[in-house]
Amino acid sequence: MNLRITALAAASLLLAPAAFAQKPMPRSPLEIGHDYVREIQMDAARAMSVDARTNVPTGLFNLDFRATPASPEAMARQFLAAYSELARLPAVGALAHDVTTDGRAGYAVHFQQTVAGVPVLNADVVVNVTHDNRVPFALLNHEAEIDVPSTTPTIAAGAARAAAFDHLGVAGTLHFDQTELVVAPTADGARLAWQVRVLADAPMGEWEALVDANSGELFRVVDRMLYHGGDDDPPIPTIEAANRLVTVDAPAMVFIPDPLTRTGASYGQTGYVDGGDADTAQLTAARSAVTLRDVTFDAGMYHLRGPWTNVLDWAAPFSGTAPQPTPDWSFTRSPGDFEAANTYYHIDTFMRYLNEDLGITCRPFQGGTNGIVPFDHHGFNGADNSSYSGGTARLQFGEGGVDDAEDADVIIHELGHGIHHWLVGTGGGPSNSDGLSEGHGDYVAVSYSRALGLQTPASPSYNWVFKWDGHNPFWPGRITNYTAVYPTGTAPHQRGQHWSTANMRIWDVIGGTETDVAVHEGLRLTGVSTIQPTAAQAVLQAARNLDYEQADLDVMFASFNTQGYNVTMPLPTAVDGGPSALTALSLTAPAPNPSTGGARFVLRSDQAQDVRVVLVDVLGRIVATVFDGTVGAGEARDLEVAVAELPAGVYVIRAAGAGATAVQQLTVAR
């Protein structure tokens, strides 16, 4: 069965659509045009995804490619060379290495597609290389056929920037300001364009404008809240280098996770209303005593600056950074400094959990952050919303209705946008074209609060997101028991509920820790334009790489396909067991590939040995024995595998000898 998905592919190479926390923002009159629409088709039978228009593979799953041991980039390039024809990859020089991240599920090697050295928007390739030198999974979000007459602009960068600034009416402090030459795919081909990005005091938002570099036409303007970076980003300093001043632990009173979940009350009960941020006896009693770890003592004052997060008052209303003359933030909820302590506590707690407890390395990499999450607990001009800025890694929390920074769901949701972004790496921002980043924010928010054990599945708010800030007269919030099937709903907010629902359903069966690890390690394997079904495939692959029990993989597989993602089960590790490929055995690429009747290939051996060559399906079952015998030293043996009677799909040709293996992939078409 095929599943066709519409993905918004003009979310730029380094950005994704706006990441406003909870409430959808109306389309601004400043916006021009629409994102380039690309349709991705998931094909579980062939263990791949393809571009529905061109049939070019956009994802290859269940691979068993064995690389000759080398650097992760070099091994990824071995894979790309082997699959260049099948995937219609651009020339080697057109894929520039961007970044390699190392996680528990292996390396994620990111490449940026270029045209004559100019980056192509939203066109990246991500190759998963395991720590034992295998490639089981790759996302190939490249443009197979793209070109522009020239990469020399006739419009100067400064003129393009001025045109964008004039259209937007940019005013005040420039918090982020960048102009870059890009190749922008469109429905009619491609344009050489200046990508202008700006985050200023006005207008509100993190704006991207695309200006035709030859005609000067402003053909796309959109408000985005995510990231662009590259090799020029400064290195992340160690915690010690980022915090040279004296640090202490300090007492505070906060909501864990919010007053309603803590007490089991409902919004509107006596004392459990916002009341314009007023204190009530009930809300005061709902606070919890905590320790704020590693706050900074500087010049006679204590500051909420630590190794994982810090207050930064950058957005109106400008209410300060909550410094204290004593190390004590034990406030009731009415003083503004309560939200500062509440936000610090929850961000610090979750970042430590992710990095220290789960062993998933994840920090902001944007310049100026020093790897520390900056937040403004009273921002958004006082409006009832919150946001994450990809260019600066800054979180800001609004004040309308219930102050957003009083609800851990909102805090962790916004942090979830950043975590998604930082896991993807400097090669691009988190994809949100069909709600993946929104769904991840919802997932981590509910995972965090549900892990406290304060609710049971029978609790009315068990599946609610924003249990204090939402589901009240101010706005309805969202849920993680969304009953529709993907891709039902509008992107990004409604559709994001598919992702959170599928993963929280897994959470309930295999547990929070195991699900959190698989989800975050899976997202590390994704790229700038990844949609929910391919992200689900990445999560499954990460779990397989981490040697999850088959029963847990079955739960994940069932939940993802119940949601409508049409994923395929990753190959069992047992299929490709044994040492990494050495020079003793090799297989040439089968041809033709894809094949309808049969495919020929050559088996070579550097030494005399007994060799068995088998064909394995996606479930790890041997469906044919192609050869079983002795091969002489230096011998090259022509072999053929018959596939006329096999179902369509992706198969692995595996040769195993005395201490060496070799693998090739074969696609059977019908």
pLDDT in tens, 90-140: 987 899 999 999 999 999 999 999 999 999 998 999 999 999 999 999 999
**Given a cut of 60, is residue 483 above it in pLDDT?**
yes
Q: Supply the pLDDT for residue 577.
A: 34
- Cα–Cα distance measured from residue 341 to residue 310, given in angstroms and rounded to the nearest whole number: 10
Q: Supply the pLDDT for residue 10.
A: 30
- 283 versus 45: the higher-pLDDT residue is 283
Q: Supply the pLDDT for residue 429.
A: 63
Specify the DSSP element, H or E, that contains 6.
strand 2-8
- Cα–Cα distance measured from residue 404 to residue 418, given in angstroms and rounded to the nearest whole number: 17
Q: Which two tokens stand for residue 460?
A: 């009315």
Confidence of residue 660 (pLDDT cuts 50, 70, 90): low
Q: Supply the pLDDT for residue 584.
A: 66
Task: Please tell me what DSSP assigns to residue 381.
Answer: G
Q: Average pLDDT, whole number, for the chain? A: 88
- Cα–Cα distance measured from residue 98 to residue 125, given in angstroms and rounded to the nearest whole number: 10
The structure tokens 């230096």 sit at: 634
The pLDDT of 515-524, averaged and rounded, is: 97
- Cα–Cα distance measured from residue 504 to residue 439, given in angstroms and rounded to the nearest whole number: 11
Architecture field, domain 239-562: Roll (3.10)
Look at 74-78, 85-89, 497-501 and tell me which has the smallest mean pLDDT: 85-89
CATH domain 573-668 topology = Immunoglobulin-like (2.60.40)
**Given a cut of 50, is residue 20 above it in pLDDT?**
no
Q: Supply the pLDDT for residue 188.
A: 85
**Given a cut of 50, is residue 517 above it in pLDDT?**
yes
Look at 148-162, 233-247, 535-549 and tell me which has the smallest mean pLDDT: 233-247
- Cα–Cα distance measured from residue 247 to residue 295, given in angstroms and rounded to the nearest whole number: 5
- Cα–Cα distance measured from residue 540 to residue 241, given in angstroms and rounded to the nearest whole number: 37
Q: What is the pLDDT of residues 365-424, one digit of tens each?
A: 988 899 999 999 999 888 888 999 988 999 999 998 999 999 999 999 999 999 999 999
**Given a cut of 50, is residue 200 above it in pLDDT?**
yes
- Cα–Cα distance measured from residue 510 to residue 513, given in angstroms and rounded to the nearest whole number: 8
Q: Which two tokens stand for residue 579?
A: 């040492």
Confidence of residue 21 (pLDDT cuts 50, 70, 90): very low
Nearest Cα neighbor of 261 from 288, 239, 296 is 288
- Angstrom distances, CA of residue 658 to CA of 341, 606, 608: 62, 11, 9
**Given a cut of 70, is residue 574 above it in pLDDT?**
no
Name 661's Cβ contacts closer than 8 Å, sequence gap at least 6. 66, 576, 578, 579, 580, 581, 585, 654, 655
- Angstrom distances, CA of residue 2 to CA of 51, 473, 567, 620: 12, 42, 10, 22
CB 431 within 8 A of CB 281: no
Q: Supply the pLDDT for residue 86.
A: 87
What is the dotted CATH code of the domain comprising 2-15+19-24+35-141? 3.30.310
Report strand pairing: 373-376 vs 395-397: parallel
> Where are the chain's structural domains?
2-15+19-24+35-141, 157-224, 239-562, 573-668
**Given a cut of 60, is residue 267 above it in pLDDT?**
yes
Q: Supply the pLDDT for residue 243.
A: 38
- Cα maximum dimension of the chain: 85
- Cα–Cα distance measured from residue 70 to residue 581, given in angstroms and rounded to the nearest whole number: 12
Confidence of residue 205 (pLDDT cuts 50, 70, 90): confident
User: What count of other Cβ atoms lies within 10 Å of the Cβ of residue 63?
Assistant: 26
- Angstrom distances, CA of residue 3 to CA of 197, 226, 439, 503: 34, 28, 20, 20
Q: Supply the pLDDT for residue 241.
A: 33
Nearest Cα neighbor of 101 from 588, 582, 391, 426 is 426
Displacement of CA 471 from its chain's centroid (Å):
27
Q: Which two tokens stand for residue 449?
A: 């609060």
**Given a cut of 80, is residue 227 above it in pLDDT?**
no
Q: Supply the pLDDT for residue 528.
A: 86
- Cα–Cα distance measured from residue 272 to residue 253, given in angstroms and rounded to the nearest whole number: 18
CB 42 within 8 A of CB 566: yes
Confidence of residue 582 (pLDDT cuts 50, 70, 90): very low
Confidence of residue 648 (pLDDT cuts 50, 70, 90): confident
**Given a cut of 70, is residue 25 above it in pLDDT?**
no
In DSSP terms, 95 is beta-bridged to: 113
Q: What is the pLDDT of residues 421-466, one digit of tens each?
A: 999 986 556 677 789 999 999 999 999 999 999 999 999 999 999 9
Q: Supply the pLDDT for residue 26.
A: 66
CATH domain 157-224 topology = Nuclear Transport Factor 2; Chain: A, (3.10.450)
Helices (H), 435-511: 436-450, 493-510
Specify the DSSP element, H or E, that contains 373.
strand 373-376
- Percent of the chain with pLDDT strictly greater than 70: 89
Phi-psi region at 117: left, alpha or beta (left = phi > 0; alpha = psi -120 to 50) = left
**Given a cut of 60, is residue 326 above it in pLDDT?**
yes
- Cα–Cα distance measured from residue 518 to residue 542, given in angstroms and rounded to the nearest whole number: 6
> For 535, phi and psi rounded to 5 degrees?
-65, -40
Q: Supply the pLDDT for residue 234.
A: 29
**Given a cut of 60, is residue 613 above it in pLDDT?**
yes
Helices (H), 26-156: 72-82, 84-87
The pLDDT of 486-511, averaged and rounded, is: 94
Look at 48-52, 63-67, 218-222, 237-241 and tell me which has the smallest mean pLDDT: 237-241
Q: Supply the pLDDT for residue 573.
A: 55
